[in-house]
Structure 1
């Protein structure tokens, strides 16, 4: 999904309608994997836990993608934000 949504940022000269079509073709494959994964995962995790797992994976992949593919700098405040997300993981999975 990261490449489908953000990969086109390196190709700003490509018409938007082409970008949309190509992005949907890329995203379709991920949807075909994500929907069954959520269904299978729901027998072990709550919906909130599934969502936080998905967000952590997405943000981890996006961090690497933005640095390596988009050539953006990783800033200290991004690291702080990621620590807060790890806190969300803790509170989502901790039984109180």
Structure 2
């Protein structure tokens, strides 16, 4: 349990959770296209509030062991993974080979950030 609370692991878990909230805030309303835009914006802001309560502390904790560029890279890779799952499971959209190839190229770029 203590290893989950370490500055190396906890920020990643918090960024993962924050990205789930943010993905719903940004894209969840697409299933409710008939809803008024003001309603979905307000709902999205409400969801994003919780995202910030995870992301900001995650970065504060993570900067103890990661650079800002590394934290941003971790967040972006998590975002792609969360979004891929979200789009298939929630939005019922297929991931095509070009989506997967593009995500893989982004992951390769992310790996460069951590190259010592």
- Do these two structures clear the TM 0.5 threshold for a shared fold by scoring above it? yes
Match of 2:37 in 1: 16
- In the alignment, the residues of structure 2 paired with residue 85 and residue 53 of structure 1 have an alpha-carbon distance, to the nearest angstrom, of 12
TM-score (norm 1): 0.96
Q: 2:77 aligns with which of 53, 56, 68?
A: 56
Gaps of 5+ in 2: 1-21
Post-superposition, which runs of at least 4 consecutive aligned residues in structure 1 deviate over 3 A?
Answer: none
- In the alignment, the residues of structure 1 paired with residue 100 and residue 62 of structure 2 have an alpha-carbon distance, to the nearest angstrom, of 28
CA deviation after TM superposition for structure 1 residue 94, in Å: 0.6
Gaps of 5+ in 1: none
CA deviation after TM superposition for structure 1 residue 89, in Å: 2.1
Q: 1:40 aligns with which of 61, 73, 80?
A: 61
| RMSD of aligned residue pairs (Cα, Å) | 0.7
CA deviation after TM superposition for structure 1 residue 82, in Å: 1.4
- In the alignment, the residues of structure 2 paired with residue 14 and residue 90 of structure 1 have an alpha-carbon distance, to the nearest angstrom, of 40
CA deviation after TM superposition for structure 1 residue 47, in Å: 0.7
TM-score (norm 2): 0.80
Q: Does 2:104 correspond to 1:83?
A: yes
- Please identify, of 84-93 and 8-17, the stretch whose mean Cα deviation from structure 2 is larger: 84-93
**In structure 2, the residue corresponding to 1:32 is in which secondary structure?**
helix
The number of aligned residues is 95
- In the alignment, the residues of structure 1 paired with residue 101 and residue 110 of structure 2 have an alpha-carbon distance, to the nearest angstrom, of 14
